[in-house]
Amino acid sequence: MAEASPNAFPVYWEQFHRDCRALAWRLKGVSEWKAIVCITRGGLVPAAIIARELGVRMIDTVCVASYHDYESQGEMQVLKPIDPSVIDVEGGDGEGVLIIDDLVDTGKTAKVVRAMLPKAHFAAVYAKPMGRPLVDTYITEVSQDTWIYFPWDMGLQFQAPIAKGPVG
């Protein structure tokens, strides 16, 4: 990444886990979920947490690449489609299937996956205004110009005391 966004939203593991559990609470009474399809890579961690909380055992991935350089969205590429056994769970249209992602941003990825499972329930932990209409359930909305730093994007690093000034 060239520069940090002025609207940075760092999310640490504890907060992310709480937000995923909150999402599971919201999803609990919506349906009896037959399967989860997580959008990789961001949907892997929330899907694992939500699958545990809701007792869902059938989990699949759909691999869609859009952020090729971590800065801008490029052309959408489906690298791995949803397994046909998951698509056919309730008649082939996605009913009873829960799609999970960490973030719905512009909605481009959501549109691609929704076309694969039109009656599935789409849930994301975070949503931005452009993508929000494509998601059925989410926990937190952030502005379109906010860059979310997920726990797996950050590492621990030594920080010198303020009084010592910059290190280097």
CATH number of the domain to which 49 belongs: 3.40.50.2020
Mean pLDDT for the chain overall: 89
> Per-residue pLDDT averaged across 58-82, rounded?
82
- 101, 136, 145, 153: the catalytic one is 101
For the chain, give the percent of residues with pLDDT over 90.
71
**Is 93 contained in some domain?**
yes
**Is 105 contained in some domain?**
yes
**Is 67 contained in some domain?**
yes
- 88, 105, 145, 153: the catalytic one is 105
**Is 164 contained in some domain?**
no
Structural domain for 18, as ranges: 8-156
* Cα 95 to Cα 106: distance, rounded to the nearest angstrom: 24
Domain count of the fold of the chain = 1
Its pTM stands at 0.85
Higher pLDDT, 137 or 88: 137
Higher pLDDT, 168 or 140: 140
> Per-residue pLDDT averaged across 13-35, rounded?
96
pLDDT the model gives residue 148 = 96
> Using only C-alpha atoms, what is the Rg of the chain?
17
| Residue 30: pLDDT over 90 | yes
> Is position 101 annotated as part of the catalytic site?
yes
* Cα 87 to Cα 95: distance, rounded to the nearest angstrom: 9
Q: Cβ(107)–Cβ(95) under 8 Å?
A: no
* Cα 156 to Cα 158: distance, rounded to the nearest angstrom: 7
**Is 168 contained in some domain?**
no
| Residue 55: pLDDT over 90 | yes
| Residue 160: pLDDT over 70 | yes
> Is position 60 annotated as part of the catalytic site?
no
- 69, 83, 102, 153: the catalytic one is 102
> Per-residue pLDDT averaged across 140-164, rounded?
87
Tokens 């969205």 belong to 73
> Is position 153 annotated as part of the catalytic site?
no
